[in-house]
């Protein structure tokens, strides 16, 4: 309307006193007009008349019947933000009255209007109302869970943070997994909360459902399998780790989406670590003609890793010599590649000084000599 455009002009040009005077004249004719009251509150806040401005804002946010006009709701939401802008410590939201404004609008809109209302603002209050309006819609529940977790991480009050953390965890546990997106949310939430055992339980729940469509999708999704390997390592579940990595690297390893797992170091490293803990020897599978240089590199690295981690050899001198020999073999194979030194640096750094000097001598005697060989350097200086 023309009056609104005129009042907007007063705001933009900073003529707050004139705008307030105009607003008061219009309100005498229409004292319950929400838009006019919004402009009046805006002028009052701009003139630092905070008490009266907050009083009007509270009145608008608690309207019954509630305001459902999205443009006006957005304007009031912005005004609520302005009202707490100078508060200290700075609040994490624009306050409960803004939440009430959106929640009331959501309830009034009903099921058909919920999505349109919340495209503007997705608050906890609105999410709760959305769940009530359409309790069968899992997207609302998942969004609610995610926000509860984020609130738990942002809140400095440990009691409040703990409450939100528990609510997110319990709510998610009650929901059956129906798609991979939901499982990813579950994994992210468990990871943030440090619930490694629950992560493994969730992933393992699909092992015996090979004919299930979702189970096939999860099992063949490499990020989930990779996550499981890392979780097995973190939880010291060595036999399960050994079985999984062996199956992935075996001759009859899976095809399709997981066919490229052999070129991921996580699998080779997992097998070497599990084998060392279980006392298994010579478990690193051989490469075949189809394997490219990337897999051959990881294979050589895994053999070196297995030598270092092996607990079968108790004599430290003998073990150092075996590690040294494996490092030399790796260098001979990959010395022309930039990654060579980076790959074996950690292993050589942990060798005794004499073995390090032996390795450096091997490097200097190779066909690719360092530009400035120095036999007295430590292996830590090799780059």
> Exposure of 292 by Cβ count < 10 A (0-12 exposed, 13-18 middle, 19+ buried)?
exposed
- Please list the pLDDT of the chain residue by residue as tens digits (383 residues): 568 788 888 887 889 999 999 999 999 999 999 999 999 999 998 898 989 999 999 999 888 888 877 778 878 877 887 777 666 665 555 677 877 887 787 777 665 555 455 544 555 555 555 555 566 677 777 777 777 777 677 666 676 667 667 767 777 777 777 777 778 888 888 888 888 888 888 888 887 776 778 787 777 778 888 889 999 999 999 999 999 998 888 755 544 444 567 788 899 999 999 999 998 888 888 887 777 888 888 888 888 888 888 877 788 888 888 889 888 888 888 888 888 888 888 888 888 999 999 988 888 887 554 444 343 444 444 44
How far apart are the C-alpha atoms of 41 and 56, rounded to whole Å?
6
Coil, helix or strand at residue 291: coil
| pLDDT given at position 85 | 66
Helical H segments across 194-292, by residue range: 196-204, 213-219, 222-234, 238-249, 265-278
If you write DSSP's letter for every residue of 90-134 in order, what string do you get? PPSSS-HHHHHHHHHHHHHHHHHHHHHHHTT---HHHHHHHHHH-
The pTM of this model reads 0.56
Quote the DSSP letter at residue 279. Answer: T
| pLDDT given at position 25 | 93
In the chain, what is the straight-line distance between the N-terminal and C-terminal CA atoms, in Å? 73
| pLDDT given at position 163 | 65
Helical H segments across the chain, by residue range: 2-12, 16-29, 34-46, 50-61, 70-83, 96-118, 124-133, 138-154, 158-173, 180-193, 196-204, 213-219, 222-234, 238-249, 265-278, 293-309, 316-334, 340-349, 353-365
> Exposure of 129 by Cβ count < 10 A (0-12 exposed, 13-18 middle, 19+ buried)?
buried
pLDDT in tens, 78-88: 788 777 766 66
How far apart are the C-alpha atoms of 169 and 149, rounded to whole Å?
8
Q: Which two tokens stand for residue 25?
A: 């004249």
**Which among 209, 151, 132, 217 has a CA at the least distance from the CA of 180?**
217
Quote the DSSP letter at residue 287. Answer: P
pLDDT in tens, 145-196: 777 777 677 666 676 667 667 767 777 777 777 777 778 888 888 888 888 8
């Amino acid at each position: 309307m023309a009056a609104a455009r005129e009042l907007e002009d007063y705001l933009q040009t900073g003529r707050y006193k004139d705008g307030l005077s105009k607003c008061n004249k219009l309100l005498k004719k229409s004292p319950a007009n929400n838009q006019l009251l919004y402009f009046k509150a805006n002028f009052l806040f701009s003139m630092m008349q905070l008490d009266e401005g907050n009083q009007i804002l509270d009145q608008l946010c608690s309207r019954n019947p509630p305001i459902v006009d999205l443009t006006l709701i957005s304007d009031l939401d912005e005004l609520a933000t302005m009202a707490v802008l100078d508060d200290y410590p700075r609040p994490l939201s624009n306050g409960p009255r803004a939440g009430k404004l959106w929640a009331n609008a959501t309830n009034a809109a009903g099921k058909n209007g919920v999505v349109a209302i919340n495209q503007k603002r997705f608050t906890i209050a609105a999410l709760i109302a959305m769940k009530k309006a359409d309790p069968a819609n899992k997207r609302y529940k998942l969004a609610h869970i995610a926000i509860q977790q984020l609130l738990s991480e942002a809140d400095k009050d440990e009691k409040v943070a703990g409450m939100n953390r528990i609510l997110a965890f319990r709510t998610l546990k009650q929901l059956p997994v129906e798609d991979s997106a939901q499982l990813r949310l579950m994994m992210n939430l468990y990871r943030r909360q440090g619930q490694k055992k629950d992560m493994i339980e969730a992933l393992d729940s699909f092992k015996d459902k090979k004919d299930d469509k979702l189970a096939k999708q999860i099992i063949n999704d490499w990020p989930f399998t990779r996550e499981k390997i890392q979780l097995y390592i973190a939880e010291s579940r060595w036999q399960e780790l050994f079985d999984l990595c062996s199956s992935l690297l075996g001759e009859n390893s899976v095809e399709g989406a997981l066919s490229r797992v052999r070129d991921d170091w996580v699998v080779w490293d997992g097998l070497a670590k599990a084998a060392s803990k279980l006392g298994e020897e010579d478990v690193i599978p051989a490469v075949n003609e189809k394997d490219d240089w990337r897999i051959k590199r990881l294979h050589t690295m895994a053999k070196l890793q297995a030598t270092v981690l092996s607990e079968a050899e108790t004599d430290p001198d003998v073990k150092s010599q075996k590690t040294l020999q494996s490092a030399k073999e790796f260098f001979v194979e990959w010395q022309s590649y930039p990654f060579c030194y980076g790959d074996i640096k950690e292993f050589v750094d942990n060798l005794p000084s004499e073995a390090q000097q032996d390795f450096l001598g091997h490097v200097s005697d190779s066909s690719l000599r360092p530009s400035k060989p120095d036999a007295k350097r430590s292996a830590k200086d090799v780059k």
